[in-house]
Amino acid sequence: MVIAVSAIATASAPPTPRLGSLHGWNVVLITLDATNPERIGVYGGSARTMPFFDSLARKGLLVMNAYTITGSTSPAHATLLSGFMPLKHGVLYNGTPLAKDAFWLPEELHAQGYLTVGSTVAFFLHDLNKLDRGFDHFEYPTGPDAATRPWSSNRVAYQAFREHCLPLLSPAKPFFAMIHLKGGHAPVTPVAEEFLRLFSKTLPPDKELKAPSAEQVALGTVDPVAFRADQLAYYDANLSEADATLKQIFADFKARGLTQKTLFVVTADHGESYDHGFVGEHWKSPYESTLHVPLLFYTESGAIPPGRLTDRLVSHTDLVRTLAYLLGSDFGTGRQSDSMNAFGVTKRMSMQVSSVSALSYADTIRQLLANPKSDHAPVLKKDADDLERLGIFYWGRIELAPDGIYKLLHFGSTDARVLAGNPIRLYNVSADRAEQVDLLENGSKKRAIAVGMLERARDADPFFGLFMSNLKGSQPEVRDAVTRRLDRETIEKLKSLGYLQ
């Protein structure tokens, strides 16, 4: 089943929407937090999990190879709404603010006469990150416990939008609405029993799951296979509850006459990890369960030709330019070198991803290189050293080739989960969605693919995989590919700061 739904570069694409075909239309962006498409029927998962999403996908345009740029909520949303990668829009993790000069879709649409409303299940998307910029009205969790006890379910999260944002919308004025739901994000319990019973007849709806320790597994007191099955049952139940909420959203918009000339975009900020040891740690995981996301374009009238887009990659960076194309407005997108029109003649065949720790590390190193003798340099050096010591770092490059989607990962970390293997790994995720077969270990013929991808990654970002200590023992051609993209001055600065040997 995996191979059937995975993209191959030679697969056919649906008809392409025309430039400006949705001029003046409303746009509703629905983001499902922590939603792994492999659990959804149309992406190869169970038909029980999100049947309403599946029904929309059969009538809309489903993107099969959509990816987030990192497994964290704020950077992902900032990328969706700006078209920039995190080092340009400034939101490196949940807490850093949006750069003041970053393009911002709600702000642009507001200037064009749109009513802009939004809601989020995450308190930090509001004033802390400044991501509410350009919204006429924005709902988010408040109160002293908002950080530790956000809206508890998808239904509760949508209720705030339903009460305070939906009444502001009318067919008389174009609008942009963003609805950020919980999706499958932890905590996974309590969950409504009506959804849990779809996946388990025995689990209690309010059981708290704690990952078993290595000692418990060794002693046999916890069965890790059974534990993972329980985790996935709760997770799928939450996705089912998200699907029911999605159905309610569409029913409410239709009841108010708001579905005519309205484009619905349904996606996820990132997926969720229940593999490779990263249990619920999507911000650290570079695997498909976290980075591959659902993406659906849907119109009630069929103005977006239905089908499956399979012959290209689509990045979160691409939403802004794609909407500009559909609405017939350039949005000043010439500044957004990271963004592409998902329906354009030129297809995206590659993209890069990284962990939030790697983003913060790269930003710190850039500041150090800009002025290594400044008064702030010792503090920045300590920040970088702490990140290198404590963080889980990955850089990744994803490329679509005739025989599948290749993912190159470069790790830099002291975490045992990533130290167990090679620092540089290569997967064909079309044939191996679970990423169990490192092609650098199981076939020397693929080494040339890895070296070429690494060189292209370094061309796009000279700081890709900048952890020289982890290159010890790597093949000479891999080491050379890493250092070749640094100019002599940068190399000398990095040596003086202790980052090159």
User: Considering Cα of 189, then 149, then 183, then 316, what sign does the dihedral take?
Assistant: negative
Give the H/E segment covering residue 138: strand 137-139
Give the H/E segment covering residue 64: strand 61-67
Burial of residue 143, with CB atoms counted within 10 A of its CB: 0-12 exposed, 13-18 middle, 19 or more buried: exposed
Residues of the chain above pLDDT 70, percent = 85
pLDDT at residue 412 tops 70: yes
The string of DSSP codes covering 441-470 is HH-GGGHHHHHHHHHHHHHH-TTTT--GGG
Tokens of 200: 């388990």
pLDDT at position 150 is 54
pLDDT at residue 416 tops 70: no
pLDDT at position 346 is 93
Distance CA 368, CA 366 (A): 5
Residues of the chain above pLDDT 90, percent = 56
Give the H/E segment covering residue 307: strand 307-309
Give the tens place of pLDDT for each residue, 335-380: 667 899 999 999 999 999 999 988 888 888 888 888 888 888 888 8
Q: Are 408 and 397 in contact (CB under 8 A)?
A: yes
Distance CA 52, CA 266 (A): 12
Amino acid, res. 244: A
Strand segments, DSSP code E, in 212-343 are: 262-268, 292-298, 307-309, 314-315
pLDDT at position 370 is 84
Give the tens place of pLDDT for each residue, 424-444: 889 999 999 999 999 988 666
Q: Please calculate the CA angle 147-98-120 and round it to the nearest 5 degrees.
A: 40
pLDDT at residue 54 tops 90: yes
Helix (H, G, I), strand (E, B) or coil at 267: strand
Count the helix, strand and coil residues of the chain and give each as a percent rounded to the nearest 5. Answer: 40, 15, 45
Q: Are 446 and 403 in contact (CB under 8 A)?
A: no
Q: Are 358 and 393 in contact (CB under 8 A)?
A: yes
Give the tens place of pLDDT for each residue, 277-319: 888 889 889 999 999 999 999 999 989 999 999 999 999 999 9
**Average pLDDT rounded to a whole number, residues 136-158:** 75
pLDDT at position 76 is 96
Amino acid, res. 150: P
Q: Are 36 and 292 in contact (CB under 8 A)?
A: yes
Nearest to 271 by CA among 91, 43, 81: 43
* Beta-strand relationship, 404-413 and 392-401: antiparallel
Give the H/E segment covering residue 218: helix 214-219
Nearest to 434 by CA among 310, 312, 290: 290
Any idea which of 12-16, 166-170, 324-328 has the lowest mean pLDDT? 12-16
Average pLDDT of the chain, as a whole number:
86
Q: Are 55 and 203 in contact (CB under 8 A)?
A: no
pLDDT at residue 472 tops 60: no
Give the tens place of pLDDT for each residue, 109-127: 999 999 999 999 886 666 6
Tokens of 132: 């509410």
The DSSP 8-state label assigned to residue 317 in this structure reads G
- b/e sequence 299-316, b meaning 16+ C-beta within 10 Å: bbeebbbbebbbbbbbbb
Total residue count of the chain as it appears in this document? 501
What residues does each domain of the chain span? 20-347, 352-497
| Alpha carbon distances (Å) from 386 to 236, 380, 389 | 36, 10, 5
Place of tokens 């963080």: 391
**Average pLDDT rounded to a whole number, residues 187-196:** 94
User: Considering Cα of 308, then 310, then 312, then 316, what sign does the dihedral take?
Assistant: positive
Q: Which CATH topology does 20-347 take?
A: Alkaline Phosphatase, subunit A (3.40.720)
Predicted TM-score (pTM) of the model is: 0.91
Nearest to 355 by CA among 409, 316, 315, 406: 409
